Structure 1
Amino acid sequence: MRGTEKALVALGVLALVVAPFFFYPVFVMSMLCFALFAAAFNLLLGYTGLLSFGHAAFFGGAAYFTAHSVKVWGVPPELGLLIGMAGAALLGLIMGLLAIRRQGIYFAMVTLALSQMFFFFCLQAPFTHGEDGIQGVPRGHLLGFIDLYVPLNMYYFVLAVFLIGVFAIWRIVNSPFGMILRSIRENEPRAISLGYGVGRYKLAAFVMSAALAGLAGGLKSLVFQFATLTDVTWQMSGEVILMTLLGGIGTMVGPIVGAGLVIALQNSLATSQFPVTVVTGAIFMICVLVFRRGIVGEVIAFAKRYGSR
Structure 2
Amino acid sequence: MSIMNETKSASFAVHDKQASLPRHHAVIFIGLLAAGLIAPFLLAPIFVMKVLCFALFACAFNLLLGFGGLLSFGHAAFFGSASYVSAHAAKVWGLTPELAILCGTLSALVLGVVIGALAIRRQGIYFAMVTLAFAQMVYFFSLQAGFTGGEDGIQAVPRGDLFGLLSLNSDLVLYFVVFAITAAGMLLIYRIIYSPFGQVLKAISMNEQRAVSLGYRVNRYKLTVFVLSATLAGLAGATKAIVFQLASLTDVHWSMSGEVVLMTLIGGVGTVFGPIVGAAVIVTMQNYLATFGAWVTIIQGVIFVFTVMLFREGIVGVISKALKKPF
Q: 1:242 & 1:23 partners in 2: Cα distance?
A: 24
Are residues 1:255 and 2:281 paired?
no
Following superposition of structure 1 onto structure 2, how do residues 83-232 of structure 1 map, counting pairs within 5 Å? Answer: 83-232=103-252
Q: 1:2 & 1:52 partners in 2: Cα distance?
A: 30
Give the aligned residue type for 2:243: V
| Partner SS state of residue 19, structure 1 | helix
What TM-score results when the alignment is normalised by the length of structure 2? 0.92
Q: 1:110 & 1:88 partners in 2: Cα distance?
A: 17
Are residues 1:300 and 2:320 paired?
yes
Counterpart position of 2:286: 266
Q: 2:246 & 2:207 partners in 1: Cα distance?
A: 43
> Any idea what the Cα deviations from partners look like across 1:209-228, whole Å, max 9, x if unmatched?
00000000000000100100
> Any idea what the Cα deviations from partners look like across 1:53-77, whole Å, max 9, x if unmatched?
0000000000001000111111111
> Any idea what the Cα deviations from partners look like across 1:68-105, whole Å, max 9, x if unmatched?
01111111111111111110010011111111100000
Answer with 159-168 or 271-280: which moved more.
Answer: 271-280
> Any idea what the Cα deviations from partners look like across 1:180-219, whole Å, max 9, x if unmatched?
1111101000100010110011001000000000000000
Give the aligned residue type for 1:300: S
Q: CA deviation at 1:3?
A: 2.3
Out of 306, 318, 326, the residue aligned to residue 286 of structure 1 is: 306
Q: 1:60 & 1:8 partners in 2: Cα distance?
A: 30
| Partner SS state of residue 291, structure 2 | coil
Answer with 273-282 or 284-293: which moved more.
Answer: 273-282
Q: 2:195 & 2:293 partners in 1: Cα distance?
A: 47
Counterpart position of 1:67: 87
Q: CA deviation at 1:273?
A: 5.7
Q: 1:2 & 1:201 partners in 2: Cα distance?
A: 26
Counterparts in 2 of 1:273 and 1:80: CA distance versus 1, 3 Å: closer
Are residues 1:78 and 2:98 paired?
yes
Give the aligned residue type for 1:267: N
| Partner SS state of residue 27, structure 2 | helix
Counterpart position of 2:42: 22
Give the count of matched residue pairs: 305
- Structure 2 unaligned runs (5+)? 1-20
> Any idea what the Cα deviations from partners look like across 1:135-192, whole Å, max 9, x if unmatched?
0100101121111001110000000000000011011111111111111101000100
- Structure 1 unaligned runs (5+)? none
Q: 2:149 & 2:93 partners in 1: Cα distance?
A: 16
Q: CA deviation at 1:11?
A: 1.4
Counterpart position of 1:52: 72
What TM-score results when the alignment is normalised by the length of structure 1? 0.97
Q: 2:289 & 2:304 partners in 1: Cα distance?
A: 16
Q: 2:193 & 2:170 partners in 1: Cα distance?
A: 35
RMSD: 1.0
Q: 1:114 & 1:5 partners in 2: Cα distance?
A: 37
| Partner SS state of residue 44, structure 1 | helix
Q: 1:48 & 1:272 partners in 2: Cα distance?
A: 37
Out of 212, 218, 237, the residue aligned to residue 257 of structure 2 is: 237
| Partner SS state of residue 144, structure 1 | coil
Q: 1:232 & 1:274 partners in 2: Cα distance?
A: 19
| Partner SS state of residue 292, structure 2 | coil
Give the aligned residue type for 1:170: Y
Q: 1:2 & 1:44 partners in 2: Cα distance?
A: 23
Q: 2:250 & 2:165 partners in 1: Cα distance?
A: 32
> Any idea what the Cα deviations from partners look like across 1:235-277, whole Å, max 9, x if unmatched?
0000000000000011111001000000000101012367111
Q: CA deviation at 1:8?
A: 2.2
Give the aligned residue type for 2:275: P
Q: 2:309 & 2:74 partners in 1: Cα distance?
A: 26
